[in-house]
Every structure is written in structure tokens, then in C-alpha cells.
Amino acid sequence: MNQPRYDVIAIGNAIVDVMSPASDELIEELELNRGGMTLVDAARAKELYDAMGPAREISGGSAANTLAGLSALGAQCAFIGQVADDQLGEVFAHDIRAVGIDFDVAPRAGDPPTARCLIFVTPDAQRTMNTFLGASQFLPPSALDAEAVAAAKVLYLEGYLWDPEEPRAAMRRAIEAAREAGREVAFTLSEVFVIDRHGDDFRALIEDGLIDILFANHLELFALTGTDTIEDGIAALAGKVPTLVVTRSADGAVAVRRGERTEVPAEPIDHVVDTTGAGDLFAAGFLFGHVNGEPLERCLRRGAIAAAEIISHFGARTEADLKALMAAKLG
């Protein structure tokens, strides 16, 4: 096996987050799925954008957020995702390269425009996300750099992007390339509605031994396994994936790796401002520890520390020096 060029390469939606504080009344008035993620078309995206108050634009996307956290910790990363040849596409490409992540997919000409996620953040820090996937749905298998995938220790796949046909085919090709190179494949389930639509595919990937690291929150775990307790959900999956990581919001996280089980509490925080990106940054912390061969508990602690940093402010990109924060807390 050749020496890896990257610690993690990820395939995901290339999205610009548009974030705005919102009242509970506005959530009801717009009939939004409070606290969840809903896919919207171009017309609905415009309607919601027009209803937003003053907003901040921050490059996002689940897997891209994870890579940004990994890069902040010192990992070498690459991203595969599709933007359009427009202003938001330029914003996304600039932002991801500026944090040291390789991004070489050519922008797509014409409609649809670059994806955007309209995020309404209520006073309780819940984020209600409404995503127009735009160009990100049209990532063709031809955009996949199989050599780059083979040169990464871990291929990280975003469940959100499994929905459209072209990116799904690209991700299947990427799994093959990673497997042929003897690399690990990590998968995040992303959201319950994704499992409702593609759970059979995900269960088949797991049964076929194609997933080495599976990330899920407790609700996604229930949806995937058909169970209604965390313990039953873990029991259903732990023997089928080498590493299972389950986050439990304020109750911390649990991981099972080849029979070894470890739990950590959530990292203490004074005030939760915005939960956008908590799972993404948890994965970043965990994967950083994993690719560096750290013990399971330390991987989980890294995840918890990164998640706590991200929920202390608006947006899914870190504001504190994540490397220094880890050093201070872990020694």
C-alpha cells in the first residue's frame, strides 16, 4: 500500500449556508419543519430567503464542515463536490481552499445555481434547515479522482448526497476505489429522512462489509435499525461495522470498535447558541484521533470538544483555535 497523501477525502454537498436568527412565530408562520432539514425547490428557497432577517453567508455542507474541522486540527484533506459557475460557487471554492483543503472539481456551467441552505436559528439554539441542493445534485461519476481517493487513509461519505442519482453513482465508485486500495470508508447517516428514503441501500452497504466507520445520532440509529432504544440499536449494528459512533446530544456519545465500548459525556458549555454543524464537527474530532491511531476514548473526547466549540457560536465553521483548544483540554 502506498503512503497516503491525505488523511481524509470526503464527498459531499457543496453548499453555502445562509443563517439568520428567527422567532418561533416565524417558524410557524412559514410552516417549517422545526429543528429538522427539509429539501426545497428554487421557488421555495426564494420565498424563505425573502422572509429571513439579516443573514450571514458561510460556506457549509456536512462533509465540507467536517473537513474544515479536520484541517484546523492539522489533517491533510481533500473534498469532492459540485458547485456552479456563479458567485456562491466562487465563495464556496475560495473558502474551502483557504482553510487548506484540496478542491479540484470544475464548476458546472448554467443552471441550477450553487446549492444553499437557509438556516433559521431560534432562541433555543435549534436550527431549522431548508436546503436547495442546486448544482450539488449533479456531481458526475467522471468528477471522481480515483487516484486521490486511493491516496487517502479514510474516504468519508455524506448521507445527504446519496439521494440524487449521479452523486450516488460517484460515491459507489469511490467506495470501490477505496476498497481496492485497502483504505477505510466512513459514512455519516446525516438525517432520518435520508434513511427513510435510502435505508435499504445503507443496510446493504453495512451487510456487505463496505462501511468501516459509521456515524449516527440516536434518532438515525433508531431509523436505521428499527429499534427504539440506543442499546438495542447498538446491539443491532455493533457486530456489522468495525467502528460504530453514536452521538446522543446533551448525553454525550458512545462508540464500539471491534468489541471495545467507550462512552464520554458531552463537553460542558456555558451557553448553546446554534447547533448547526455539531455532528459534523464531532466527526472531525473523532476522525482526527482515528487517523492518528489514538485510543477510542480520546477520539470521542476530541469529537465532544469540537462539537462544543461549534455550538457556542453561529455557523458550522470553528472560530476558536481548535488545535490549541484540544491541547488545553487533553494535555
Q: What is the 3-state secondary structure (H, E, C) of 300-331?
A: HHHHHHHHHHHCCCCCCCCCCCHHHHHHHHHC
- What is the predicted pLDDT for the residue at 235? 96
Domains by residue range for the chain, with CATH: 6-330 (3.40.1190.20)
Helix, strand or coil for residue 175?
helix
As a whole number of angstroms, the longest Cα–Cα distance in the chain is: 57
Handedness of CA 74, 76, 79, 84 (dihedral sign): positive
Q: Is 299 exposed, middle or buried (0-12, 13-18, 19+ CB in 10 A)?
A: buried
Q: Name the pTM for this structure.
A: 0.91
Whether the Cβ atoms of residue 95 and residue 56 lie closer than 8 Å to each other: no
DSSP 68-98: HHHHHHT--EEEE---BSSHHHHHHHHHHHH
How far is it, in rounded angstroms, from Cα 27 to Cα 83?
29
Q: Give me the tens of pLDDT residue by residue for the chain, a chain 331 residues long.
A: 678 999 999 999 999 989 999 999 999 999 999 998 898 998 999 899 899 999 888 888 999 999 999 999 999 999 999 999 998 999 999 999 999 999 999 999 999 999 999 999 999 988 899 999 999 999 999 999 999 999 999 999 999 999 889 999 999 999 999 999 999 999 999 999 999 999 999 999 999 999 999 999 999 999 999 999 999 999 999 899 999 999 998 899 999 999 999 999 999 988 888 777 899 999 999 999 999 999 999 999 999 999 999 888 877 778 889 999 999 999 8
Whether the Cβ atoms of residue 105 and residue 80 lie closer than 8 Å to each other: yes
